[in-house]
Structure 1
Amino acid sequence: MARIPQNLVEEIRERVNIVDVVSPYVQLKKQGRNLFGKCPFHEERTPSFSVNEEKQIFHCFSCGRGGNVFSFLMEIENLSFPQAVAKVAPQAGVDLDEAYLDNDQNVQVDPEIKALRELYEEATKLYHHLLVNTASGEEALSYLTSRGLDEKTIDAFMLGYAPEGNILYDYFQTQKVDYQLLRKSELFVEWSDGSLHDRFANRVLFTIRDSAGHPIAFSGRKLTQNDDEPKYINSPESLLFNKSAELFNLDLAKDTIKKKKHVILFEGFMDVIAAFQAGVQNGVASMGTSLTSEQIQRLSRMTDKISISYDADMAGQKATKRALDLITQQGRLSAQIIHIPDNQDPDEYLRSNDATAFNQVLVHNVEDPVTFNLRYLQIDRNLHNQTELFSYISDALVVIATVKEPVIREQFLRQLANEFDLSYEALQDQIRPILLQKQAQRSSGATNTESGNRQKARHQSFPDNQIIKKSVTRIEKAEQILLAWMLRDNDVWLQVTNRANFSFQDVPYETLYMIAMAYREEYQQQPATDMAAFMDYVQKPELTRILASLEEIDSELFMDREQVSEYIRVISDEAPLEEKIRQLSRDIKEANQLHDHARIAQLSVEYMTVLKQKQTKNLDN
């Protein structure tokens, strides 16, 4: 497929009105300068989805989605960028040559990316061959079959074996592959003398593929009982592999996920593979147990329901809690938790039960998020202690207050009353102010749809007239304003880029910063004043959402050039301290759960020291 020329993309976008494209999906009404409607990407009562006809962009003030006409179609219909352009072309009166149509099989890519993909394809084939066809792979193959995997499944997932030595490096040497390409692949470890050595040795390899099926990384499980070695070694991030965005098995699962409108999130690769072999083909796993916003966004474009089936141990329960919180924040997917009987993981259960029993578990052993959170709150609490019981009741009521349906909320309150022999009426009295507070917050949010009313929602601190969600940190506010200023003002761009070693702390903003550099080089160092055009260049929906939100920043914030230095200082000086404070806070919480009093004392001293450093910096400024 040939790449659609940029001038043709711009012509198509300029010849259509985003309102005409959005209107079949959203009922829009004129309010002030913009048009508003209920967001099609999440359930809401008060319209927060805005379309700016003048700038030809959209933005939802609730879920944060945003972009131009192509971004909207990519989100709403799960299209690639070329597919979205092709869908809009007839409305623009443009006939696209068939060579530009996206068949997902022959997408033009950067030559270096193409070379790396070919390298990983060859490595995958070699490792798979060593597993299934050689004597050296017999132990690894025996391990996989003992875990219940058959030949067909081993082939489908292209599982492999990496023996001792440098067999992969030696193989590529015979192919005369460029040394620098091998370095960039992250298939090898570079020693201090510059020599390259196979990253994986004597390990079963799980092949990680992108959504198009290209191998992009490996996870190697050791076969020995050597405690000095980690159980798993994973490929580091590379030009091909971004672990925050990828999901194991998405390439094989995506069609079933779209068809069933349901995805199951497992904790381990073996869980996904065993479930797939048992006929459950809509399962994926994140890279490790920490689900990310990027992964949720990818899934939300395919489905509206997610089931979490993590391990029953403490690590699995913590991971489930983190995943639920993140899914709730995103507001697009409905979630439930699957419990495997006898505290087994899915892979273990399938080795002792058949596929029918497993499918019954997936349907019937489910728990809603509120029930899970109430149970999770009881962990590490002595509920026979009155103080801890009262603390639990207070936290539980906050959870129950998130239930929108009065009947269901009443049911949870009665369960809580019966479980601890409490007065139902007293619980009603205690939850009432929490509900009123939530109602007030929703009402306050509803005022944000009109341009004039949005003034009331602006924050009273740094800066006191910024239109940003309340959850955004001081540092991210600085990143938002500075990046927006840099994109529209060439002098500010030069002021920031002339500072040595400057970088944004949050990955999305740093990514946009790097893309903007490339954009300016391609367009003779011109500022990105046409945001819709810059969105075409960026293409990724998760980044165009940020660009759409930047357009909502009050223009008055770009008047005082002295503020540029202040934003730079906040990003460069305060962000590292904030991250250290967050990490220490997490460490202290973990030490508390382990009752490690010596470590709690040590970490508390460090925590107070960093807090004082932060306070000192604030006083100095």
Structure 2
Amino acid sequence: MAGLIKREDIDQVRERTRIDDLVSQHVTLRPAGVGSLKGLCPFHDEKTPSFHVRPTVGRWHCFGCGEGGDVINFVQRINGVSFVEAVEHLADRLGMTLRYEEGSAPAKDQAAPGLRRRLLAAHEVAEEYYRSQLLSPEARIAREFLSKRGFDQAAAVRFGIGYAPKGWDNLLSHLRGRGFTEKELAASGLVSQGNRGHYDRFRGRVMWPIRDVIGSTIGFGARHLYEDDKGPKYLNTPETMIYKKSQVLYGLDLAKREIAKDRQIVIVEGYTDVMACHLAGVGTAVATCGTAFGSDHVRIVRRLLGDAKDAASGLRLASGQVRGGEVIFTFDGDAAGRKAALKAFNEDQSFGAQTFVAVEPRGLDPCDLWLADGDEAVSRLIAQRQPLFEFVIHSALAELDLDTAEGRVAGLKSCAPVVATIRDQALRGEYTRQLAGWLGMDVATVAHEVRTAPRLSHPERVNPAERPVAGRADAPAQPDRSDPVVKLEAQALQLALQEPATAYACGFDSLQGAAFVVPIYRALFDAIQAVGGTGSATESESPSHWLEAVVEEIPDQLRSAAGALSVSPIPLGDEPLRAYTIEVLNALLRMDLNRKIAHLRGQLSRAQPQDPDYHEIFTQLVALETERRRRQG
């Protein structure tokens, strides 16, 4: 299917898309050396960043799971789409019109490859339609609903709120009029199908657009307004190709920058709660979409918060922010709220951040609190958050009669496994002492119970398809970078792939294949030579085009190694790039000379002076020894 789009256009999409801009919409990136960025991998669960991006060559690579590639590969992987769909998505992002090979139609007119693109387009049209309908006479009830909750027209515009009119096929007719087919409408989730054909899924409801992290509308949340509406109070888009409710957080498109900046995410329960928080100045609020907070949401949150290797200690900075980031859940103070908090606790150990709970004593949700007491009350609720561990322990103790010995022992048995689960030893010790105080028991007794308690284990949730590349049956063993030979060969290839112009100027193309004894690296060197060496990069349109040509020369099972070398930080320190390159290449040449000298010495020791080849071997040995001394001097 990839051949449908003209190759020149594919190359242009690659060249014009900044990979750091694209990736940063999904991952918080931070500097990782000269010209390199890193963050938590979006394709497997990790606590320390191993995902690297090299903007100058347009490549990314994860050293944890072995995934890597260019901008097109990233879109394919992050969105689960085909090559053609990924190119089309990036072209749309650039405002580019793609050209297709003669005799082939654009993918969007075919059965599968362009369907995702068409569904996104249908949702864009639907959102425009619903927003326009909010201004209609019929939508007065929707405007009153919003007004009673403190949301004016400006708020409606900010969050894209609309109204789905009564009637069976208002949106359906509108979409048909805009050229959408029956197949597209059936797959969109915007319409339903009954005995008499298709009809609008949402009717007589106030509408919230649900957007993905880059701001594309992928679904809707709808609340009923009329008493005769026999449907559920809240109705969401069903699961579709573009909408997976367990992988979506409402408001994330608006909150992502604040989340990355403040290293904080506030998780509320409803659409109006998100609106109230944002309007009150808490711009890090998001909500799940008709489903409980789960492991897929955890991955989204951890990618946005970035590296949190210090988070387990919960150390507080001078600004009041917790190092490593904060995940703050807002729950009602009732039994349902406590149950939700306990479920959140089950996910806590997957976070690389400290987790908190913000509970309003009167049981008000953020929207009701905002409406009753204003902006400051919402900010104060978040500021007065309490650690999730503490909330879980207090919730458990609240169910017991601590005035009795039996109640205190039951509390110890119930809460000791919770404390034992705390990863940070210092924090675990502090909670052990606090638990002893809350129970009125001896610290030593509580500490012994915590030490011997069965810990609540939460094993890493790793998709088998996301395991490190070294574990794949078709992948060659990865070289040991602690080996000096491996390290030096990798450094030379790293320079060739990332800085081909400098490598060429410093003599990389004068190297012989014998200089590389690590099989994977010899194959990469041969691929570079096959495209004309590093010198050919100076004739290419861009480094990324040249690197793409190199990658195409490499067997599939070696591409992970090439990807790693094309993005890993070059350890320059304060040394200029040219000086570092000369040093690495000279060291590699000296190593090659040492191997050749050792080989000739072995031959000479086994030969006799009268042998025909003795003089030739001796002459070669002297020449190599002279060359080695020259390079050492």
What TM-score, normalized to structure 2? 0.55
The CA distance in 2 between the partners of 1:7 and 1:174, in whole Å, is 35
The CA distance in 2 between the partners of 1:197 and 1:484, in whole Å, is 50
Of the three residues 349, 354, 368, the one matched with 1:334 is: 354
Q: 1:23 to 1:305 in 2, by over 3 A?
A: closer
Q: Which residue of 1 is the match for residue 394 of structure 2?
A: 375
Q: Which residue of 1 is the match for residue 379 of structure 2?
A: 359
The CA distance in 2 between the partners of 1:127 and 1:361, in whole Å, is 33
Q: Which residue of 2 is the match for residue 320 of structure 1?
A: 341
**Preserved CA contact (<8 Å) 2:274 2:286:** yes
Between Structure 1 and Structure 2, whose CA radius of gyration is higher?
Answer: 2
Q: Deviations over 1:176-213 (max 9, x none)?
A: 421111111110111145x1010011111111111222
Q: Which residue of 2 is the match for residue 350 of structure 1?
A: 370
The CA distance in 2 between the partners of 1:480 and 1:74, in whole Å, is 11
- Please tell me the residue identity of whatever aligns with 2:220: F
Q: Which residue of 2 is the match for residue 392 of structure 1?
A: 411
Q: Which residue of 2 is the match for residue 19 of structure 1?
A: none
What secondary structure sits across from 2:245 in the alignment?
coil
The CA distance in 2 between the partners of 1:229 and 1:334, in whole Å, is 39
1:505-516 pair list within 5 angstroms:
none
**Preserved CA contact (<8 Å) 2:60 2:69:** no
What secondary structure sits across from 1:173 in the alignment?
helix
The CA distance in 1 between the partners of 2:63 and 2:255, in whole Å, is 19
- Please tell me the residue identity of whatever aligns with 2:332: D
Q: Which residue of 2 is the match for residue 593 of structure 1?
A: none
**Preserved CA contact (<8 Å) 2:124 2:217:** yes
Q: Deviations over 1:133-160 (max 9, x none)?
A: 2111000110011111111110111111
The CA distance in 1 between the partners of 2:116 and 2:263, in whole Å, is 32
Residues 1:168 and 2:174 aligned together:
no
User: By how many angstroms is 1:294 displaced?
Assistant: 2.9
The CA distance in 2 between the partners of 1:219 and 1:100, in whole Å, is 24
Q: 1:327 to 1:171 in 2, by over 3 A?
A: same
1:458-607 pair list within 5 angstroms:
529-530=557-558, 532=560
Of the three residues 110, 126, 130, the one matched with 1:127 is: 130
User: By how many angstroms is 1:477 displaced?
Assistant: 7.4
**Preserved CA contact (<8 Å) 1:337 1:367:** yes
Q: 1:306 to 1:80 in 2, by over 3 A?
A: farther
What secondary structure sits across from 1:322 in the alignment?
helix
User: By how many angstroms is 1:312 displaced?
Assistant: 2.8
Q: Which residue of 1 is the match for residue 105 of structure 2?
A: none
User: By how many angstroms is 1:236 displaced?
Assistant: 0.7
- Please tell me the residue identity of whatever aligns with 2:443: Y
Q: Which residue of 1 is the match for residue 518 of structure 2?
A: none
The CA distance in 2 between the partners of 1:220 and 1:281, in whole Å, is 22
**Preserved CA contact (<8 Å) 1:247 1:284:** yes
What secondary structure sits across from 2:213 in the alignment?
coil
User: By how many angstroms is 1:215 displaced?
Assistant: 1.3
The CA distance in 2 between the partners of 1:209 and 1:329, in whole Å, is 25
User: By how many angstroms is 1:324 displaced?
Assistant: 3.4
Q: 1:206 to 1:402 in 2, by over 3 A?
A: same
Q: Which residue of 1 is the match for residue 152 of structure 2?
A: 150
Q: Deviations over 1:71-129 (max 9, x none)?
A: 547999xx9963999xxxxxxxxxxxxx9999955488963322222211111111111
User: By how many angstroms is 1:222 displaced?
Assistant: 1.0
**Preserved CA contact (<8 Å) 2:223 2:234:** yes
The CA distance in 1 between the partners of 2:195 and 2:208, in whole Å, is 28
Q: Which residue of 2 is the match for residue 557 of structure 1?
A: none
The CA distance in 1 between the partners of 2:89 and 2:121, in whole Å, is 24
Q: Which residue of 2 is the match for residue 16 of structure 1?
A: none
Residues 1:82 and 2:74 aligned together:
no
Q: 1:311 to 1:487 in 2, by over 3 A?
A: farther
Q: 1:472 to 1:289 in 2, by over 3 A?
A: closer
User: By how many angstroms is 1:273 displaced?
Assistant: 0.6
Q: Which residue of 2 is the match for residue 592 of structure 1?
A: none
What secondary structure sits across from 1:302 in the alignment?
helix
Aligned residues: 414
**Preserved CA contact (<8 Å) 2:268 2:331:** yes
The CA distance in 1 between the partners of 2:9 and 2:332, in whole Å, is 46
- Please tell me the residue identity of whatever aligns with 2:349: T
Of the three residues 329, 332, 348, the one matched with 1:311 is: 332
Q: Which residue of 1 is the match for residue 311 of structure 2?
A: none
Aligned-CA RMSD value: 4.9
Q: Deviations over 1:470-507 (max 9, x none)?
A: 6679xx879989x9778779xxxxxxxxxxxxxxxxxx
Q: Deviations over 1:504-533 (max 9, x none)?
A: xxxxxxxxxxxxxxxxxxxxxx99645629
Q: 1:280 to 1:222 in 2, by over 3 A?
A: same
The CA distance in 2 between the partners of 1:424 and 1:255, in whole Å, is 44
Q: 1:61 to 1:80 in 2, by over 3 A?
A: closer
Q: Which residue of 2 is the match for residue 582 of structure 1?
A: none
Q: Which residue of 1 is the match for residue 309 of structure 2?
A: none
The CA distance in 2 between the partners of 1:80 and 1:106, in whole Å, is 23
- Please tell me the residue identity of whatever aligns with 1:82: V
Q: 1:412 to 1:173 in 2, by over 3 A?
A: closer
**Preserved CA contact (<8 Å) 1:250 1:284:** yes
User: By how many angstroms is 1:260 displaced?
Assistant: 1.6
Of the three residues 426, 436, 440, the one matched with 1:417 is: 436
The CA distance in 2 between the partners of 1:205 and 1:183, in whole Å, is 20
Q: Deviations over 1:346-382 (max 9, x none)?
A: 000001112123212221x210122022123336555
User: By how many angstroms is 1:218 displaced?
Assistant: 0.7
**Preserved CA contact (<8 Å) 1:264 1:307:** yes
The CA distance in 1 between the partners of 2:301 and 2:467, in whole Å, is 26
What secondary structure sits across from 1:342 in the alignment?
coil
User: By how many angstroms is 1:414 displaced?
Assistant: 3.5
What TM-score, normalized to structure 1? 0.56
Residues 1:203 and 2:205 aligned together:
yes
**Preserved CA contact (<8 Å) 1:4 1:100:** no
Is there any run of 5+ residues in structure 2 with no aligned partner, and where? 1-7, 20-28, 75-87, 99-107, 306-324, 477-553, 565-633
User: By how many angstroms is 1:276 displaced?
Assistant: 1.2
**Preserved CA contact (<8 Å) 1:488 1:527:** no
Q: 1:84 to 1:7 in 2, by over 3 A?
A: closer
**Preserved CA contact (<8 Å) 2:210 2:220:** yes
User: By how many angstroms is 1:60 displaced?
Assistant: 8.6
Give the fraction of aligned pairs with identical amino acids, expressed as a percent: 23
**Preserved CA contact (<8 Å) 2:45 2:460:** no
Q: Deviations over 1:578-603 (max 9, x none)?
A: xxxxxxxxxxxxxxxxxxxxxxxxxx
The CA distance in 1 between the partners of 2:249 and 2:293, in whole Å, is 9
Q: 1:384 to 1:530 in 2, by over 3 A?
A: farther
**Preserved CA contact (<8 Å) 1:336 1:368:** yes
User: By how many angstroms is 1:422 displaced?
Assistant: 1.7
What secondary structure sits across from 2:299 in the alignment?
helix
Q: 1:157 to 1:101 in 2, by over 3 A?
A: closer
Q: 1:81 to 1:485 in 2, by over 3 A?
A: closer
**Preserved CA contact (<8 Å) 1:264 1:282:** yes
The CA distance in 1 between the partners of 2:63 and 2:212, in whole Å, is 18
Q: Which residue of 2 is the match for residue 212 of structure 1?
A: 214
The CA distance in 2 between the partners of 1:147 and 1:80, in whole Å, is 47
Of the three residues 402, 408, 420, the one matched with 1:401 is: 420
The CA distance in 1 between the partners of 2:386 and 2:185, in whole Å, is 47
What secondary structure sits across from 1:189 in the alignment?
strand
What secondary structure sits across from 1:197 in the alignment?
strand
What secondary structure sits across from 2:328 in the alignment?
strand
**Preserved CA contact (<8 Å) 2:89 2:117:** no
What secondary structure sits across from 2:292 in the alignment?
coil
